[in-house]
Amino acid sequence: MDISVLNDQFYERKRSNVLPFVINDAVKILSGANSGKLAAVIAIQYLDSELGYFVEHADGSGDSVVKAKDLEHLS
């Protein structure tokens, strides 16, 4: 899918199988250096030809880029 189309869907909050998270979704990071941290999704980015998300950590410790499979929605 074209990144510009995904970007539009991301900011319009239109989730899909390809785009499971959208702007301002509250998430938990499931693996990696920031595992267990809560965060807010702020942008999309491709990582190794896989969709990833730029997230802002809720504890104020900074931002990171995380693959979609390593994120979980918070209720």
Region 3-73: CATH code: 2.30.30.140
Q: What CA–CA distance (Å, rounded) separates 21 from 24? A: 9
Q: Where are the domains of the chain?
A: 3-73
If you average pLDDT over residues 41-59, what whole number do you get? 92
If you average pLDDT over residues 18-33, what whole number do you get? 96
Are the beta carbons of 49 and 1 closer than 8 angstroms? no
CB neighbour list of residue 69: distance below 8 Å, 6 or more residues apart: none
What share of the chain in percent tops pLDDT 90?
83
pLDDT of 1: 61
Give the helix/strand (H/E) hosting 14.
none
If you average pLDDT over residues 38-67, what whole number do you get? 93
